Each structure stands twice: as C-alpha cells, then as structure tokens.
Structure 1
C-alpha cells in the first residue's frame, strides 16, 4: 500500500459507504422512492411497517403509503410535503447508504444545499407527466455547483404515462441539453415507478425497451472511490488530545477527519500556519494504529517533534500546501430572509477554523434557471446564488472548491443570532 499517495484508488474496504441526496419538485415522489428503497431492501422494522399501514388506512389511501416512512415530522404528514432534510440509513450486501431526503419547495432550496454538500451522488426526480420544471433545473444546477460527482435523473410515475418510451426519451433529451451547460461528470437517466417499485430494486417488465440497470443496482455499483482527493494531504486539526494520567504523560495526539490525501507513519509533514516541519510518528483510529489512513477517515495523528499545534491548524505536505488567504472569491448560496449586502460582517467557519469576514464586493448573481449572470444586483436574497468577495480577519487555509470540497467550502454565520446564513464554495483564494 506504499503507493497509495500517488494512486487515485484507495483500499477496497473503504468503498462500503455511499452518501446520496434526493431532490425534485413537490409531489415528484422523493419520499415514496426512499420508502420503496427502505422497504425493498428490508431496512425497516415490522412495527414501522404496521404504523405506516395503519396511518395509510386512516388517511384513506388505497395502498400502503411508503412515503410516510420518511415524512417523519407531524407537520410534514399533515401538509403532505417534506420540510426538513431527513437522513435515513440502509444497507445491502454490497454497500451501506446514507440518504439525505431534501425538500422540493423552492423556499427550501437552502435545505437541498445542506443535504447535497457531502453527497457522493444525487438523485433528481421528475414527474413523467410534467417533464422538466423549474425546480428540476434548479436542483441540477445546485448539484453541479456543489460538484456532486454523480447525478441520476429518475423519471418517476412512468405508470401514469403508460410506460411510454417516447415520454422518457423526450425528458432525457431535454435534460441532456440543459446539462451541457453544467459541470456534471457522470449522468444516468432511469425510468421508474416508485409507487409500484418498477426499476427500483429489479428491472421492470413494464418497460422492456429500457436496457439499463435498476436504480439500486446503479447505486451499488457506481464507482465513488476515485472521487476522493488522495493526492493533496489535508488534515485540519479538530482536537488536541492530552491525557491527564501519568501513564500517558508524554502523549500528544491531534484528532480530526482527513480532508484529502493519505497519511502514513514516517511521512514528512508541515503544520500550518506555523510552517514547522516534522514527521508522522503514528496514525491511530478508534480500533488502534493503522499503517495508513486516507480521506474521509477520522484519525488521531502523533508527530515526532513537540510542536505548538492547536485546533484550526492544518497538517499537509511541505511542498503541497493550501493557500493561506484572507481575500476569498466564492460562490455563495444565501439561506436567510435578511439579504446579503456589501459591507456586511459575518462569522465564517472553514474546516475547523473560525474567523470573522466582511463582504467586500458582490460581483454578480446567477440565475439558476437560465445560468445568466446579473452584475447589476446590490444584494442576495433568500436562496439566491452569487459570486462574492470576502475579506477575513485571519487567514483561511483553503483550496479551490473544485480541488477539494472540504477545504474549499465554508459557512457564514450571523453573529447576532448564531444562525447559519450562507454556504460558500471557494473559486479562488489569495
């Protein structure tokens, strides 16, 4: 495994967890789809199923409404919509999954940003009867903006268009034309019926013209290991471990989640912002020492020399380091009713480092439907996306977002309310 630092494929045992987000317009069937995945993969308990069946009868549904498995909040059940980002877990013999079920309403676009920011794959649902709507394009744009490596367009409710190949091909063509404007490296289009389970776990006999794989088969087999950045070593220090016992009086460990690259015992590393260099003495996980560790593992690193290292510092390679920047250009998705305006002061949270930031300039707002830039705007409103220049009080140890989604991303916080008001993707740092 000594070649892991230069290869783009990590050890096979880390390929067992995939995070994916679902998105789509209201009533496109996201919750039903996730309920179907949970049900067909036998990831729900009997009492959960009985509760769903009972609630379905009380609502007068003629079928077991699997959407109720994910619409857990009472307000969501009453309105028949998804409001918050609901995280669900299920597993198959090939892979474990974390699902972020994000809302479809336009006012909850910010929730979709939250759900998709850590996703390996995104599923955008469209209703076969309606075709592509504004929200479909908006969600595809956000998936591209967040650089989610894999996108599945799931054309749902094919049962309501008589399993029509022509309808499916038209939607596929329309979406492919829009996707050419975006940065989507891997696009797959699958016709499904979440309600009846067609093409969810197994291939549908109702659509013999479709020759691709089922949705679950695709989720199990899509290659996500090479999406990780295993070249640029980035280890933001989250916590310094100094045990208070005499037995470990000399122990000093630095805990955190690897944001990029591979760490091995004996590797020469640099600690930023101090610039001191040393070597790794040990890499440990909760199960004990390991010969190497890679993103996104959580580890504790011991260094050969006693350096002054604290939370917010970054361990990297001496000749491959992130920028230490106070001037940041970034795409920002604004998440609150109070608009973003030039001159505004906010707190900024980047990896494990916190600082304050001022909005120096609002360069343009992006129309997420037409992808046109409007450089005459004076503010960003709720759910707007725009290019912003920030000046921070302390340098951020940052990469461009397209190079590393962890060290290239940040959140903005209103200091008076402590609410997260913006999510940013760094375009350049200098």
Structure 2
C-alpha cells in the first residue's frame, strides 16, 4: 500500500472531508547540509500519523542499522531512500512525500543541501507554493542559506517558513532565535520574499513541529504544522490573462481537430476570442473537451482540448492567449541558475526549452553575477557551476513569453547543451529586450548573386581548423596564391594577423575565443556577400563555435577543412616556441596541452599535413573547389 492509499484509508480521521477533496499545498524543504531537512519531514509524517505499520517497523529496524541518532528513531530515514544518502547521512536527490491532515493535502519536495546538488534544489522549488528553510541554530545564516533563498526569490516562491532547528543544542536560547530571525527578515526584504514566518524547532524531539513546545514558552507563534495548515498561498492565477501552450494538435479523424494542452493561467469560456501566437491569427473557442465530457469553461491547471471556430494553423509550441497579450520576442533578459561544471560562455550556442517550445539560443551578453554572501551585483565574464547571474539571450526565432513574476509557465526555461544533451541551466525571464525602433535592414540593389556573376565564381568560406603548428596558415596562403593565379577573387583572414587589429582586445580565455570566432565569422560573411572566396585560418578549438560560424552562411557556403596534423608533429615543429612555453607552465589555456581541441565530426575536407606536403594539401583544396563548381 502506498502513502497516497494510506491517506485515503485514514479518511475517517476527518469527519467532514475526504482527503482528496482538500486543497493541496506544495512545499519544498531546503537549507544547508545537516540542518535537519529530512528529519523535519520525517517527523511531520510520523506525528501526523501518516505512516503504515510496516513503515513504522522498517523505520525501527533501519534506525538500529543505519541511524545516526543512537537508540532513538532516525526520522530522516523515512525520506533518504538512496543507499548513498543513508551511508553518508545526507540528501542527494529530491524526495517527494505526500500526506494529509483534516484541513489540507501536502506534497513535500525534500531537497539536498550540498552546493553540488543546487540543481536538484532548484528542481524541487520550481513548483512549490511555499518553502521551509532549515537553519541550524548553532550556525545561523550561512552561504547556502542565502543561495537557496535567492533561488526561491527568483522562482517566485514568496511564502517562506524558516525553521530554526536544533534549538535543544543552544539550550532553547530565545535571544539566539531572535538574532537569527532578524537576520533572515533583513535578507528576505532584500530579496523580495514578502511572507516570512520564523519558528524555533527541535525536529528530532518534535518541538514546535505539530504542537507548541513546553520547552520554549517564550515563543507564542504557530507550530510548523499550524502554519502550513493556515497559510494562504493563493496568487490569483485564475484571474490573470489566459495562456494556453499547445502541446498537441489533436486530430483523430477528419471530423475532429482540437488543440490539447494545460491551461497555464486565466479562465476561458466557450465563445471567448483567442489569438494564436506568434502567428497572430485570431479565432473563437467553439468547444472545450476533456477525455469524458464537454465543459463550458477551463481554468488554470486544467488539461483540456480546445476547439476553434476557424481552421487556422496552430501546433505544438504555439500559445493561445486572451486578455493582455504576452510578449513575442527573439531577445530576452533573464536570470540563470548555472548547473553545469563547464562554465557558461557568452557566444556559445544552446537549446532553450520553454513550455512546449524548443529554440536555438545564444547567451549574447553577461550583465552581472550575484554575490551570494552580499547579494551585490558583480561584473563577471561567465557563470561557474551553481552561480546565479543576469544575462541577455538571443533566440533563433520569436518566443512567446511572459515575465516569470507574471507567469511561471511562460516565464521559465532550461538551457541544454546541444552536444552533451545535459541541462546546463534553469532560466527565469525578466523582460523582453526591445530592439531600437529606428534600426532596420536597408535594402540594397546589388546582391551576392550579382557580385558572384561579375567575378565568375561561387563565393564561399574555406574554414581551416587545427592545432597550433598544424600548417593551417601555410596551406591557406598557398591556396590563396593559387586561386589568385587562376584569376579568382579571394580574401585571407589569418588568426594571428587579426589579433593585431580587430581582435587585439581579446585574450585566450574560452569566452574570448568565442568572441574571436564570432567576429571572424561576421567579417567572413561580409566578404562572401561581396562574392569572394574567403579563407579563414583559425585554431577554433571548440566544435560548438565552428558550428555557430557555419550557421552564419547559406547552404554550401561554409567548407570546413580539418588540418588533422597529430599533436606530436605539431609539437615537434613548434615554429613559435609556444608548445615549449606551455609545457614549462608559461602559457595557460594552450590548445592541445591544457585546453582540449574538439575535432570536427564531418568536415568537408580532412588533411593530414604531417603526411602530405603543404603544396599537395593546397592542390587538394583547389581541386575540391573545381569539382564542386566554386571556380
């Protein structure tokens, strides 16, 4: 029997209501390591009499074997289910628990306190109405407390219950509780956490968990359970403008076509007008259907199928809206909670998933990083793992969105690395970034095709990539000279030469390399638009950056050439003495030594300049251009 079934079985404890008819409160527990989060949740379950007999028996036996509380019951074992959690006495994954009282149903997400599991905490908090923040009375507010509170504020969790735990270890000192409460309320005011209740507890013994504690007579506020049962977390989402992200165009036969999804906010009635975004097409709702009935209205949280009066194009990723319209933009300002061990890089391409939409995205600018200890905004080039910052993000196509403070569903997103498929960040939209209204594309009469006809060639970019010393510049120079002899019009962009001018302000950090490649790709695109065959000689070590450069060009205009000379050969050549300096520790971030080189997956041309001469390699490239009718 599950806990949920147990709730139903114990319905007789409430003489007036069935458990499933009561309102549900979703809450998350968070705080630093070993502050007692799992113990508090376990104590809530135990003292609420929500445990079955076999669960009590298992808790008793497990406490003797894996407990950390001596002969007493270890209530954390009710939540910590992973073997690693029990061995270390910590929470690693998010654990969900369900129970009910006479007034409410509760869904608890117990989250880990370790910094390295910040992503798990953010996941648990993303759907919470209220947060229970645990603080060890001996330690007070620590960095992880601030980090979790900042994440709660970003995620729109405005109701916070601060459980100052382990009061028995400070002799139930009222002044200690008052000092911690004052510090918490000051921090909450800075973050915009508007509803904060502080409760002194001793979770192991159950003090102020269900009932008021006789050992703290100086505290006259509610217990943890009393506050959870009474707190009003309604945010009026049903009264907000209607939003309906389309999950599926439902057409089981020729007679029926509906749009299925879940109502993100607002209320919709049959006959109401709606607009489909981003297309802007308008219609009216002719029907609202569920699996077993027809409805006259749909409210926030309901999963329904909407029938429209007109046959208009709408599919997954579109949003139906009414009332004040959402934003439709291809550039946003957002806060990121960075998860990945590899730092965020401006200019790097990611996949943004928001609601039912998936869009290519580039972090175009870093605005600031949040210093967790001081809450100050700091200038920073990137975000490291578990850091929080504000960024600008450019999108491949328009996204239908609201600010996160107005709508969680349309205001939140995740970023995914397109190669590893790892979720690297959670994002919260602050606002669309408006383009200046007076900037537009100016039409030109002479286009790329006209310039190519004048030059009697097909413009393209030859992008030579490889390790330092692989022979890229030598080969590019020979190809340039050979094409010049054939009467072709070319331009040569060499990485070292560009660093004397347009890129002289850039270093060799991963972020600077991304910007270096972005600028070179933009210049090369201008040359291709002028009808030239453009040669680029650049280490360009990261596959994602080269792929971003490729997307700047049309089909067939980007020819990637991997000069695949082995590292040993490049190091033996060492024409500039750079490998020697890197081995001696005089150069950091040197590709091939302490920074990786990501070889192309499917280059158009591969050349081993350690096995063939530079002249032969150049002829191979010229021959490719002839065979593909570029010249």
Tell whether the structures are fold-level matches, with TM greater than 0.5: yes
Shift of 1:227: 4.9
Change (3 A) 1:32 1:154: same
Shift of 1:172: 0.6
Contact 2:22 2:103 in 1 (8 A): no
Q: How far does the alpha carbon of each residue in 1:220-271 deviate from its partner, in whole angstroms, 9 at most, with x for none?
A: 2211223536221111011222224xxxx42222221211111111211111
Q: Pick from 238, 257, 260: which aligns with 1:255?
A: 260
Q: Which residue of 2 aligns with 1:5?
A: none
Q: Distance in 1 between matches of 2:217 and 2:289?
A: 51
Q: Which residue of 1 aligns with 2:315?
A: 310
SS in 2 for 1:181: helix
Q: Which residue of 2 aligns with 1:411?
A: 414
SS in 2 for 1:137: helix
Question: More helix per residue: 1 or 2?
Answer: 2
Q: Distance in 2 between matches of 1:25 and 1:228?
A: 32
Matched, 1:71 2:80: yes
Q: Which residue of 2 aligns with 1:266?
A: 271
Two-structure CA RMSD over aligned residues (Å): 1.7
Q: Which residue of 2 aligns with 1:335?
A: 339
Matched, 1:423 2:430: no
Alignment of 1:110-259 (within 5 A): 110-228=119-237, 230-244=239-253, 249-259=254-264
Contact 1:22 1:101 in 2 (8 A): yes
Q: Which residue of 2 aligns with 1:394?
A: 397
Q: Distance in 1 between matches of 2:207 and 2:182?
A: 22
Matched, 1:347 2:351: yes
Alignment of 1:366-405 (within 5 A): 366-375=370-379, 377-405=380-408
Change (3 A) 1:211 1:292: farther
Q: Distance in 2 between matches of 1:188 and 1:344?
A: 42
Q: Which residue of 2 aligns with 1:46?
A: 53
Change (3 A) 1:150 1:227: farther
Contact 2:30 2:132 in 1 (8 A): yes
Shift of 1:287: 5.2
SS in 2 for 1:407: helix
Q: How far does the alpha carbon of each residue in 1:89-141 deviate from its partner, in whole angstroms, 9 at most, with x for none?
A: 12222222211111111121222111111111011100112222221122111
Please say which of residues 286-295 and 207-216 is displaced more in the overlay: 286-295
Q: Which residue of 1 aligns with 2:328?
A: 324
Higher RCO structure, 1 or 2 (CA under 8 Å, sep 6+): 1
Matched, 1:93 2:98: no
Q: Which residue of 2 aligns with 1:34?
A: 41
Q: Distance in 2 between matches of 1:163 and 1:54?
A: 31
Contact 2:143 2:372 in 1 (8 A): no
Shift of 1:162: 2.2
Q: How far does the alpha carbon of each residue in 1:143-162 deviate from its partner, in whole angstroms, 9 at most, with x for none?
A: 11211020111111122222
Q: Distance in 2 between matches of 1:360 and 1:162?
A: 53
Q: Distance in 1 between matches of 2:250 and 2:150?
A: 41
Shift of 1:15: 7.1
Contact 2:278 2:399 in 1 (8 A): no
- Gaps in structure 1 of 5+ consecutive residues: 1-12
Shift of 1:45: 2.2
Shift of 1:364: 1.3
Contact 1:15 1:225 in 2 (8 A): no
SS in 1 for 2:84: helix
Q: Distance in 2 between matches of 1:253 and 1:34?
A: 43
Contact 2:188 2:194 in 1 (8 A): no
Contact 1:348 1:412 in 2 (8 A): yes
Change (3 A) 1:218 1:292: farther
Contact 1:102 1:115 in 2 (8 A): yes
Shift of 1:314: 0.4
Moved over 4 A (4+): none
Please say which of residues 29-38 and 259-268 is displaced more in the overlay: 259-268
Q: Distance in 2 between matches of 1:229 and 1:415?
A: 36
SS in 1 for 2:274: strand
Contact 1:89 1:99 in 2 (8 A): yes
Contact 1:239 1:256 in 2 (8 A): yes
Please say which of residues 146-155 and 51-60 is displaced more in the overlay: 51-60
Question: More strand per residue: 1 or 2?
Answer: 1
Change (3 A) 1:403 1:183: same
Q: How far does the alpha carbon of each residue in 1:179-213 deviate from its partner, in whole angstroms, 9 at most, with x for none?
A: 22111121111111211111112222222222211
Q: Which residue of 2 aligns with 1:25?
A: 32
